[in-house]
Amino acid sequence: MPEDDKPKRRFPDGIREGSDIHTLESVFLTIVGLIVLAAFVEAFSYKLVSSRTPFVIMVPLLLLIVFQSYRITRAGALREIRYHAGAALRGRYAVFGKLSRLALAIVGFFVVVYAFGHYIGVAAFVLFLMRRLARERLALSLIVALGTTLALFGIFEGLFGVDLYRGLFFRWLMGYRDF
Amino acid sequence: MTILEGLTSGFLQSVSLDVLPYLFVGSMFGLIIGIIPGLSGHFAMAMAVTFLYTMEPAAGIAFILSAHATVSQGGGLTAILFSTPGTGQNAATLFDGPAMRDKGLAGVAVGAAMASCAFGAMFGALVLAALIPVLRQVVLFFGPPEIVMLAFLALTFVAVLGREDMIRSMIAALVGLLLAMIGLDNVTNTERFTMGILSLSDGLNLVPVILGLFAVAEMFDLWATGGSLARNSEGPLSAKETQRQIFEGVRLTIKNWWLVMRCSAIGTAIGLIPGLGSAAASFIAYGHAKQTSKDKESFGKGNVEGVIGPESANDAVEGGAVASTIAFGIPGSSSMAILLSGFFILGLETGPRMLNQNLDIVFVMIFTIIIGNLLGTIVGMFAVNPMSRATSIRAEVMVPVLTAIILTGAYAAERSMFDIGVAVFFGIVGYLMKRLNYSRAAMLIGFVLGFAVEKNLYLSLLLDGPWFFLQPIPAVLGLITLGFLVYNIWVVVRDRRARRRA
- Chain A residue with minimal CA distance to B51? A160
Question: Is the per-residue pLDDT at B244 higher than 90?
Answer: no
Distance of residue B347 Cα from the nearest chain A Cα, in angstroms? 18
The whole-number pLDDT of residue B388 equals 65
**Mean pLDDT of the A120-124 span:** 94
CA dihedral B268, B269, B275, B276 (to 10 degrees): -90
The tens digit of pLDDT for each residue in A160-169 reads 778 888 888 8
The whole-number pLDDT of residue A103 equals 92
What angle, rounded to 10 degrees, do the helices at A19-43 and B417-436 form?
A: 130
Question: Is the per-residue pLDDT at B227 higher than 80?
Answer: no
Of A111-120, B142-151, B221-230, B421-430, minimum mean pLDDT range: B221-230
The tens digit of pLDDT for each residue in B382-433 reads 777 776 666 667 888 888 998 998 898 888 878 889 999 999 999 999 999 9
Contacts 24+ apart (CB under 8 A), B168-171: B168/A68, B168/B436, B168/B437, B168/B438, B168/B439, B169/B438, B169/B439, B169/B442, B170/A60, B170/A64, B170/B442, B171/A32, B171/A61, B171/A64, B171/A65, B171/A68, B171/B438
The whole-number pLDDT of residue A4 equals 47
Question: Is the per-residue pLDDT at A113 higher than 90?
Answer: yes
Residues of chain A with C-beta less than 8 angstroms from the C-beta of B187: 49-50
Three-state DSSP class for residue B358: coil
Question: Is the per-residue pLDDT at B231 higher than 60?
Answer: no
**Mean pLDDT of the B81-109 span:** 77
Question: Is the per-residue pLDDT at B136 higher than 50?
Answer: yes
**Mean pLDDT of the A72-98 span:** 80
| CB spacing of B404 vs A46 below 8 angstroms | no
The torsion angles phi and psi of B299, rounded to 5 degrees, stand at -70, 135
The whole-number pLDDT of residue B254 equals 93
Task: Find the CB nearest A4 among B190, B224, B431.
Answer: B224
| CB spacing of A42 vs B193 below 8 angstroms | yes
Three-state DSSP class for residue B192: strand
Residues of chain A with C-beta less than 8 angstroms from the C-beta of B178: 36, 39, 54, 57-58, 61
What angle, rounded to 10 degrees, do the helices at B359-382 and B20-35 form?
A: 50
Mutate to test the interface with A, among B55, B396, B425 (most CBs of A within 10 A): B396
Residues of chain A with C-beta less than 8 angstroms from the C-beta of B432: 1, 24, 28
The tens digit of pLDDT for each residue in B428-453 reads 999 999 999 898 888 988 898 888 88
Tell which wins on pLDDT, B485 or B238.
Answer: B485
Residues of chain A with C-beta less than 8 angstroms from the C-beta of B421: 110
Write down the ipTM of this complex: 0.89
The per-residue pLDDT of chain B, averaged, comes to 84
Q: Report DSSP letters for A64-119, one per residue.
A: HHHHHHHHH--TTHHHHHHHHHHHHHTT--HHHHHHHHHHHHHHHHHHHHHHH-HH
- Chain A residue with minimal CA distance to B435? A1
- Domain of residue B218, residue span: 3-501
What is the pTM assigned to this prediction?
Answer: 0.81
| CB spacing of A28 vs B432 below 8 angstroms | yes
DSSP structure class, residue B199: G
The whole-number pLDDT of residue A1 equals 43
| CB spacing of B435 vs A60 below 8 angstroms | no
| CB spacing of B420 vs A110 below 8 angstroms | yes
Distance CA B342, CA B26 (A): 14
| CB spacing of B396 vs A61 below 8 angstroms | no
The tens digit of pLDDT for each residue in B360-371 reads 889 999 999 899
The whole-number pLDDT of residue A43 equals 93
The whole-number pLDDT of residue A93 equals 83
| Reported confidence tier of residue A6, pLDDT bands at 50, 70, 90 | very low
How many domains is chain B built from? Answer: 1
**Mean pLDDT of the B69-76 span:** 78
The whole-number pLDDT of residue A13 equals 65
